[in-house]
Amino acid sequence: MSKSTPTRIINTMDLKTFEEYVRLHLLSLEQDSEELQKQMGFYDDLDCDEYKDLELEDVSTTGQILACYHFLSVLEATID
């Protein structure tokens, strides 16, 4: 019985399927980012803990979005 880890799943996934997964994940991240921006707009005090938490989450989400764009650019060059 083999263990199912993310690495093993990717090893058995073809590149086109992985590209589709990354595109869907990117869409989800972009929706999350829009929601975070909306929530951040409700705060007047940019130094409050709640705003800082949202800001940190937004920075993380933005980094994940950039990584997805990088993966897609590499995948598109590999698949074509």
Per-residue pLDDT reduced to its tens digit, 13-70: 788 899 999 999 999 999 999 999 999 999 999 999 999 999 999 999 999 999 999 9
Helix (H) or strand (E) holding 27: helix 15-40
* Per-residue pLDDT, 13: 75
**Would you say 45 and 10 are in contact if contact means Cβ atoms under 8 Å apart?**
no
Task: Write down the pTM of the prediction.
Answer: 0.78
CA–CA separation, 15 and 38 (whole Å): 35
Q: Residue 9 has what pLDDT?
A: 58
